[in-house]
Amino acid sequence: MTHRRRMRRAALALAVAVLAGLPGTLAAQEPMQPAEPDPDSTLTDPRAAALDAEAADIAAQLRCPVCSGQSVLESNSDIAQQMQEVIRERLGEGQSERQILAYFRGSYGDWIILTPRPTGISLLVYVLPALALLGGIVWVIVAVRRWSAPPSAPGSGGTEASDSRADSDTVSDDLSAEDEAWLRQSIGGS
The answer to whether the CB of 80 falls within 8 A of the CB of 67 is yes
- CB nearer to another protein: give 51 or 67: 67
Contacts of 165 (CB under 8 A, 6+ apart): 172
Among 45, 119, 171, 190, binds another protein (CB under 8 A): 171
Minimal distance, residue 33 CB to another protein, in Å: 6
Neighbours of 23 (CB within 10 A): 9
**Subset of residues 73 to 132 that bind another protein, contact rule: CB under 8 A:** 74-76, 78-79, 82-83, 85-86, 104-117, 121-122, 124-125, 128-129, 132
- CB nearer to another protein: give 16 or 174: 174
Cα torsion 61, 132, 121, 73 to 10°: value is 10
- Taking alpha carbons only, the member of 58, 67, 70 closest to residue 102 is 58
Q: Is 182 in the site for another protein (CB under 8 A)?
A: yes
Minimal distance, residue 170 CB to another protein, in Å: 4
Contacts of 92 (CB under 8 A, 6+ apart): 51
Among 44, 119, 176, 190, binds another protein (CB under 8 A): 176
Query: What CA–CA distances, in Å, run from 53 to 9, 31, 46, 47, 87?
Result: 45, 13, 11, 10, 12
**Subset of residues 28 to 57 that bind another protein, contact rule: CB under 8 A:** 28-33, 35-42
**Subset of residues 132 to 161 that bind another protein, contact rule: CB under 8 A:** 132-133, 136-137, 140, 143-144, 147-149, 156
Among 55, 58, 59, 63, binds another protein (CB under 8 A): 63
